[in-house]
Amino acid sequence: MYRHFKVDRARAMCRTEHGGHSSQNEVIQPRAPRAFPSGIKVKLVTCMNIKRNISLGGLNGIHIDTCTSTNSLLRDMLLEGLVTPPCFLWSDLQTCGKGRLNRSWIAPQGNINLSLAIAAPLKHPAVYQFNLLAGYALFETIQQAPALNVQIKWPNDVLINRLKVAGILSETVFEREAIVIGVGVNLNSQRGDFLPEIRDRLTTIRHETCTMTDAEPFVSDFLSRFNTVLKKYNKDGFSCVYSKIHACLAFKDEQVIFEEGPNRSLQATLMGIDPEGLLVLKTDDGLKKIIAGDIRTCF
């Protein structure tokens, strides 16, 4: 068991590097914990309200009230030496989440905002595969609810009934030879909680199951499944999940629009993924393998 560290003031709002005293932003030094979980090395309270130190699914982490982006915060904590992988950061509220291609990730109250840090070799050749690994772990977790049509949308989404319910963003932290994997899940919000312009493209687990889901068991189940698939991946490579992901891939044998970038698109038939996780499209010029980009259905 591990204990929460204690601070002289319960709510520290900001860290400062200057000496002396300040009434609003003075440095609050935590007492050293007797047994803080390995992977988490908190030196001081850093501009966030830590609710608890927590161990779920075989990983140690920190649960906080709110932050702008769990990916950005966990990356900063890695760079400052406050944490070491493997670990995770879970925030109840995220005010400025990140998606692919610098898109924002809008997360109303009641959803899952989670980032994991895992050790990886410097310049890992297949960082994109970690989106699919996390996607498959989420697929298995969500599929525990009966009668849900859950699919993985290449490269980084999970769908229910062809609507987005979760998104994943993997980023490399070269300085720490680590990968940060951000996971956002629409858990207990309603579709009406989202902006009108995106409402018709997404769904929530609450909407699909007509029930509320306890967040902590959900997070624990996902982390456990991710930990299991990661161990297999580290031993056997992507082949350990290739056939499983291919089987639950969305839009197979359908006409899709592949968007390589601004004003660059291609219509093709989605054939699936190859054994390395690359998207395989059938075009007028033959088969084409894709490592990055977006897809959407033609209709």
Region label for 53, one of left (φ > 0), alpha (ψ between -120 and 50) or beta (otherwise): beta
Cβ 290 vs Cβ 244: under 8 Å: no
> In terms of residues, how long is the chain?
299
Would you state the structure tokens that stand for residue 212, as one six-digit string? 């509320």
Q: Which residue has the higher pLDDT, 44 or 170?
A: 170
- CATH for 253-299 is 2.30.30.100
List of residues 6+ apart from 272 with CB closer than 8 A? 246, 249, 252, 280
The domain limits of the chain are 50-250, 253-299
Percentage of the chain beyond pLDDT 90 is 60
Is residue 256 scored above 50 in pLDDT?
yes
Q: Packing angle between helix 128-142 and helix 215-236, nearest 10 degrees? A: 130
Q: Please state the φ and ψ torsions of residue 248, each to the nearest 5 degrees.
A: -110, 20
Q: What is the pTM of this model?
A: 0.81
Q: Give whole-number Cα distances, 130 to 116, 234, 247, 278, in Å.
A: 11, 11, 18, 12
The domain defined by 50-250 carries CATH number 3.30.930.10:
yes
**What pLDDT digit, counting tens, does each position of 51-105 carry?**
888 999 999 999 999 888 999 999 999 999 999 999 999 999 888 655 444 555 5
Q: Which residue has the higher pLDDT, 11 or 147?
A: 147
pLDDT of residue 14: 31
Q: 40: pLDDT confidence band, cut at 50, 70 and 90?
A: low
Q: What is the mean pLDDT of the chain?
A: 81
